[in-house]
Structure 1
């Protein structure tokens, strides 16, 4: 039976306030229990893979990693905070499901190497180790809308752990059990998505604070500036229902099939192709599908605060110029560093448990490796 520590994240209040207000008040944040663990999966040399045109595969593998983690928690009926990063995933999990989570990621790692020839670094770090190293880790829960709550983390703990797992710690090789990898709910059938209005672009942005002790105040200022320049989160969201198009590309379906099932499966291939080919004439005309599309937009994850600000937004080049001008001033004053990538569209991958409920979430990245290329531009800075 789960104890109070296991229910820690589930029991956090979901605060229905502007994200800049939440981030700006450290009193809204809570200490993660010492018994929890940071789990990470990161694609090695993802920047090179994207340069070779493998951005869709990178996004697919990252989506698979976060869904593998979510499904372990779902089966255990435990609510956990998780973060999608474009080329990887991070989550906080209680001790009760740590081994199963690493087991699932190990299976996903082997499948990734076999089918995509890409190496996935996976592992975990105890939260108590973070505290022993005097690294900040605080978490809150934000109510984005009636359908979506997201975790918000302050402190460099998650990325500190991710860097150790990727570059320093020995890989935690776990002998997987014989159960198949569970990526149930993984759906990637949407075509690249153009912004709501003609003449708009999609911006993938990553912002870090140069002083971890001041990140609360600095992030609040940055998020308020984004609101002032681009408008509300719903206004700047790059996903709209009218721009969604199902895609019946066999290469895309084949990649999804290999990521999800690990092998060729003709019935899966044919079913996915039929949905992509005829879904717009049949499935998308149904009343429940129209409700699903409305929910889909509401449940789209375009803002991740995992110790950094990661966001995908749509707007005009003029708005981007205003934003980069503002960020340049903060960067030149030594308060932040940021990376940015601009594309013509966004890409979306989905986790769908039930289209008739709120049991689905949709991960968004900028086109052509948005977050990964933004991270690359950030790494070039001192």
Structure 2
């Protein structure tokens, strides 16, 4: 029975992240929906080559392509560093399949990166013993992000990596619409010690209430950090010129046009923004300093993605406390976890318009982040 695509629109927003440690804040997806998954093959090798900013951009491209394919209609999605996951109603299955195929082709042609993509029925995840539940976390007045629980999205990703449900790359030259995808902000240096990327997943047979208590303890510890561990300062991320990501943005947005022209456009626009932020001058009603502040407010530095993911600006004492909680919970057979520490965080953005507050910003560790944490998983079933 289809909901006509209204399910996600009607879902209530949750404004306190600590409420999302509990499973009762999540609502099951309709049975006839689809799960989209994407990940980059050999992301750890690309990290070793110093290409993690590219990895992040390619991973976020899937979400950008879907936003444009659905023409702004809200849908649940989550960014994973070296990939992404999302869900769509049956009416949008064809559009999702096309966007995934185009992203896989684009990653190959622009960056020589292999991207796996798949589209999986929610019903198949449930038949395999996993649920797919979602919540909407309102990070600011302008933006909310989907949170996933139940294990179904992780199961879909595992099946994708095994070769099931694959969406083949589109024909050569069939590129996605990545309008709005950018990475112009400077990396954010840790203010309190280190940028800590944390990935926590429940063990398959762990008691859900016990796992929720582990999540709750970790989230409670972050409340002692400045701004809850948010890597961006209250004024927003910094902006240097020229931005390191200008060339990457040009690859994302040039389409069939000139790569050089797209790069010059990114450099010009970023220069104007840099100048306005430095001077405080407003241009045509655009307040660059306010925009930078809203960028930070809108960022997704913590999320539920069939587990708990956080990229924190963390002091040494809190880091030790978090690691103690994780180590004990891992030894008790409740969770698997991975941690990556680095000096900086980075941001990848999707900006439909600088004049509205609905732009989204994905934060990850700049030296490997979630992908590196995933490669370092500890726990009974690892």
Taking structure 1 as the reference length, what is the TM-score of the superposition? 0.90
Q: Does 1:146 align with 2:145?
A: no
Query: 2:167 — aligned with what?
Result: 172
Superposition deviation, residue 130 in structure 1: 1.2
Q: Distance in 2 between matches of 1:309 and 1:60?
A: 22
Query: 2:228 — aligned with what?
Result: 235
Query: 1:304 — aligned with what?
Result: 303
Superposition deviation, residue 167 in structure 1: 2.2
Query: 1:55 — aligned with what?
Result: 52
Superposition deviation, residue 108 in structure 1: 1.7
Count residues in correspondence.
374
Query: 1:158 — aligned with what?
Result: 153
RMSD: 2.5
Secondary structure of 1:182's counterpart equals coil
Give 1:1-382 correspondences, 5 Å limit.
4-16=3-15, 18-24=16-22, 26-73=23-70, 75=71, 77-169=72-164, 171-173=166-168, 175=170, 180-195=175-190, 197=191, 199-211=192-204, 214-231=207-224, 234-240=227-233, 242=235, 244-249=237-242, 252-262=245-255, 264-277=258-271, 279-282=273-276, 285-287=280-282, 288-378=287-377, 382=382
Superposition deviation, residue 266 in structure 1: 2.8
Q: Which runs of no fewer than 5 residues in structure 2 stay unpaired?
A: none
Could you tell me whether the CA contact under 8 Å between 2:58 and 2:107 is conserved in 1?
Answer: yes
- Alpha-carbon distance change, 241 to 185 in structure 1, aligned in 2, over 3 angstroms: farther
Superposition deviation, residue 321 in structure 1: 0.9
Secondary structure of 2:376's counterpart equals helix
- Alpha-carbon distance change, 335 to 34 in structure 1, aligned in 2, over 3 angstroms: same
- Alpha-carbon distance change, 19 to 158 in structure 1, aligned in 2, over 3 angstroms: same
Secondary structure of 2:375's counterpart equals helix
Could you tell me whether the CA contact under 8 Å between 1:209 and 1:219 is conserved in 2?
Answer: no
Superposition deviation, residue 208 in structure 1: 0.8
| 1:235-263, Cα deviation, whole Å (9 max, x unpaired) | 31001254633344476322221133356
Could you tell me whether the CA contact under 8 Å between 1:147 and 1:298 is conserved in 2?
Answer: no
Q: Which runs of no fewer than 5 residues in structure 1 stay unpaired?
A: none
Secondary structure of 1:318's counterpart equals helix
| 1:350-382, Cα deviation, whole Å (9 max, x unpaired) | 111122222201000011111110000017872
Superposition deviation, residue 13 in structure 1: 1.0
Could you tell me whether the CA contact under 8 Å between 2:211 and 2:334 is conserved in 1?
Answer: yes
Secondary structure of 1:311's counterpart equals strand
Could you tell me whether the CA contact under 8 Å between 1:230 and 1:319 is conserved in 2?
Answer: no
Superposition deviation, residue 65 in structure 1: 1.5
Superposition deviation, residue 91 in structure 1: 0.1
Secondary structure of 2:109's counterpart equals helix
Superposition deviation, residue 318 in structure 1: 2.0
Q: Distance in 2 between matches of 1:350 and 1:20?
A: 25
